[in-house]
Amino acid sequence: MLKLIKNAEVYTPQPIGRQDILIADEKIVRVAPEITGYDKLPDVEVLDAGGKRLAPGFIDLHVHVTGGGGEQGPASRVPEIRLSELVEAGVTTVLGLLGTDGTSRSVENLLYKTKALRQEGITAFMLTGSYQYPSVTITGDVIRDIALIDECVGAKVALSDHRSSNLTQQELVRLASDVRMGGLISGKAGLLVMHMGSGKQMLELIRRALEETEIPAKTFLPTHVGRNDGLIDDAIAFAKCGGVFDLTGDQEQTAAHSCGRYIRRALDAGVSIDHITLSSDGCGSMPRFDENGECIGLTYSTPGVLLKELRWAVQHEGIALETALAVVTSTPAKVLAQSGRKGCIAPGADADMVIFDKDLHITSVLARGKLARWEGKTLMRGTFEV
């Protein structure tokens, strides 16, 4: 089945002007100012973008697809993500992971949820492990999980947080080494995502790992680094050593606190945009703790924060749209070792794309060449969604 998208202002994420896009099954096969000769053929679906802006589908590197939470007992566990929540937010590729609770939430369930999302129409990957160390795994070993499980591209752990296992330097180096080896022998990213809390160590263990070992900076992805100015400054220093850091979107943006503000701060410090990513922490709990470490409130995040942060960055921080788009498209594709396949609009890439109106609201989404949403109507839903 062929699809022909006409009259789109295309961002690759770089702007390339008015273009037509020809799609065959799940792949983009041609991008040109005018593609003719297909619109009158049978079995060709022609879609008019009406001059709207079209960009790669979003890649969300941090989603608790099986639900997060649990800081206030069993009733505080967040529900699983629904497919429609992802596509309505423009997310066509997702990285699923566990959080605080690696006991009642299992990596086996995470694997099957990842498989389900793939079966339902989007692209999904997963991480083994959780906050705790030693890592919970499926095969009994981090290297084996990454090497033998197709969907698994790395591992997860927590640092500088009172809920973490308080890893030693040696333990972090050993875990990162295992993740690196798993990635090498399987041809995958080999990514260690580190939940960063507000602890006083900040990124110190990562800095020492880079100084004292040969583990490359690309192995590490510290996330939630926008908690405070000290942590973002540590993350900026890490990026200048070749690393990539991940910001977490929020439901509300202000002049004093937004991912756009932190992106601007990093850019002004000389960090390239291909060292910054933005994720949602979707279905992750958002607990509030008092000075004694007691949980005093709980809510959870959604993938919709990505678009809110993108709009704020463009409209309030003066960041160019193509720059803002990079943190949810081309840079996370690089982190996942999926450049050329994901996060771009080009021949040979997966046909994942979002279409925006003039106010940067998502009107349409294609995932792997299929219409997931068109002109405000959601067409792709999970198996049991009403």
Q: Which residue has the higher pLDDT, 241 or 298?
A: 241
- pLDDT reading at 365 higher than 80: yes
CA–CA distance, 361 with 378 (Å, rounded to integer): 14
Confidence band, pLDDT 50/70/90 cuts, at residue 163: confident
Catalytic residues: 281
28, HSE (Cβ side, Cα atoms, 13 Å) = 28
Q: What is the pLDDT of residues 31-41, one digit of tens each?
A: 999 999 987 78
Confidence band, pLDDT 50/70/90 cuts, at residue 295: confident
Q: What is the pLDDT of the chain when averaged over all its residues?
A: 95
- Report pLDDT for 73: 82
- Report pLDDT for 121: 97
Q: What are phi and psi of 298, to 5 degrees?
A: -155, 130
CA–CA distance, 189 with 332 (Å, rounded to integer): 11
CA–CA distance, 305 with 308 (Å, rounded to integer): 5
Mean per-residue pLDDT, 180-209: 97
- Report pLDDT for 176: 98
**Tokens 């066509």 sit on residue:** 92
CA–CA distance, 278 with 263 (Å, rounded to integer): 9
CA–CA distance, 310 with 89 (Å, rounded to integer): 12
Burial of 235 from C-beta contacts in 10 A (0-12 / 13-18 / 19+): buried
- pLDDT reading at 217 higher than 80: yes
- pLDDT reading at 284 higher than 90: no
- pLDDT reading at 386 higher than 80: no
Confidence band, pLDDT 50/70/90 cuts, at residue 383: very high
**Helix 305-316 × helix 259-268 angle, to 10°:** 50
CA–CA distance, 365 with 87 (Å, rounded to integer): 7
- Report pLDDT for 239: 98
Mean per-residue pLDDT, 141-169: 96
Confidence band, pLDDT 50/70/90 cuts, at residue 142: very high
Q: Which residue has the higher pLDDT, 227 or 40?
A: 227
Q: Are 125 and 110 in contact (CB under 8 A)?
A: no
3-state DSSP assignment of residue 105: coil
- Report pLDDT for 379: 97
- Report pLDDT for 100: 86
- Report pLDDT for 191: 98
3-state DSSP assignment of residue 154: strand
- Pull the structure tokens for residue 107: 């990596």
DSSP 234-301: HHHHHHHTT--EEEE--SS--SSS-HHHHHHHHHHTT--GGGEEEE--BT-EEEEE-TTS-EEEEEE-
Confidence band, pLDDT 50/70/90 cuts, at residue 114: very high
- Pull the structure tokens for residue 335: 């982190």
Q: Are 153 and 336 in contact (CB under 8 A)?
A: yes
CA–CA distance, 234 with 199 (Å, rounded to integer): 13
**Tokens 């080009």 sit on residue:** 346
CA–CA distance, 175 with 186 (Å, rounded to integer): 17
Write the single-letter amino acid at 82: R
Best mean pLDDT range from 103-107, 253-257, 361-365: 361-365
- Report pLDDT for 192: 98
Domains contained in the chain, CATH given = 2-55+340-378 (2.30.40.10), 57-335 (3.20.20.140)
